[in-house]
A and B are shown apart, each in its own frame.
Chain A
């Protein structure tokens, strides 16, 4: 699936991560820009979580920017799920 709109989730607070997602032109694939305060120790794990979730939602033609401030895995997954659903205009029970 391709993002319908640009969307974001999360914050710049400690133990949180902010994700920004925007659509790319057709057949552009995935462009990921990930930075983290714990990149050296946990960078590969962070990348894997992101890739797995993008695979799960079959996301393509997506530009994703992540700025991590040491978020735990459940937080990373929650924030990315929220950003993806917002970009697909799938989220329910919220004020847009």
Chain B
């Protein structure tokens, strides 16, 4: 069972120094919005982006989207200043780039909690998303994902990872396939969300659909988005079909009725239904925003 109760099918990247894109960010219907202070911002505009994002978060209505801010790494001259401005605002999550070890996460959390203490803020509201985008990060991903209760999602950064591995990105994703699967398994073992990398060609809708279907098949819970045009396709892939929802509904409803009668395992349409099948069905209903009405 995933700890997070929010849907994270799509996470839309918005450059942190672009006011027009930030103020329109909520209208496209992405599940999460990522205001980016890192790679999308020129080195000599880091201060401007940080101040703009700080001001915009306070007043812009992003509707139901989860708001995350990708800060710069603490090894850069920008990371600490980013945290000082953003942590007091308590967005839903801080996304930390190029996470390579649990020690790094511990240090990051120590700084975040110090800032929260200074502002009288709790330590359990804002979460952390660790981006895995180096070979070292892939090697350490299980410890990064599992050791901290505030880490409630991990993501793979495909572009930086291919650069770190000195390989060329190819549309079939072969070079990062091992990393994808290792990261997914670490997330599943830690019961947290796992979000796939961006699909860079915004004009290739078929390619996007194919890659998203593959990501879903191997266990990703969502995918990063670099253009609003990509949102609908990803949502289609990650949203259960009507048939899947109907089946899941029957499973959960009958399970609840049976459990009340002391029956844990039963059959629907000749197929055995036990706890893992029920957990999967509950996950499908959560994705579809469907509540099971019992006793009717």
Residues of A within 8 A of B (CB): 9-10, 13-16, 71-75, 77-79, 81-82, 85-86, 91-96
Q: Are A91 and B47 in contact (CB under 8 A)?
A: yes
Considering only residues 1-34 of chain B, those with a C-beta below 8 Å from chain A are: 18-20, 23
Q: Are A79 and B52 in contact (CB under 8 A)?
A: yes
Q: Are B82 and A78 in contact (CB under 8 A)?
A: no
The residue on A at minimum CB distance from B18 is A13
Least Cβ distance of A67 to chain B in Å? 14
The residue on A at minimum CB distance from B24 is A15
The residue on B at minimum CB distance from A93 is B81
Interface residue B264 (Cβ < 8 Å from any Cβ of A): no
Interface residue B223 (Cβ < 8 Å from any Cβ of A): no
Q: Is the contact region of chain B dominated by helix, strand, or loop, or is it mixed?
A: helix
Q: Are B43 and A95 in contact (CB under 8 A)?
A: yes
Interface residue B147 (Cβ < 8 Å from any Cβ of A): no
Q: Are B19 and A15 in contact (CB under 8 A)?
A: yes
Interface size on B, residues (CB 8 A): 25
Least Cβ distance of A78 to chain B in Å? 4
Interface residue B56 (Cβ < 8 Å from any Cβ of A): yes
Q: Are B19 and A72 in contact (CB under 8 A)?
A: yes
Q: Is the contact region of chain A dominated by helix, strand, or loop, or is it mixed?
A: loop
Q: A74-B59, A74-B60, A79-B52 are in contact. Are A95 and B20 (CB under 8 A)?
A: no
Least Cβ distance of A1 to chain B in Å? 18
Q: Are B51 and A94 in contact (CB under 8 A)?
A: no
How far is A32 from B201 in the complex, measured between Cα atoms in Å?
Answer: 45
Least Cβ distance of B214 to chain A in Å? 36
Q: A93-B81, A93-B82, A94-B78 are in contact. Are A10 and B48 (CB under 8 A)?
A: yes
Chain B residues near A96 (CB, 8 Å)?
44
How far is A15 from B19 in the complex, measured between Cα atoms in Å?
Answer: 6
Q: Are A81 and B51 in contact (CB under 8 A)?
A: yes
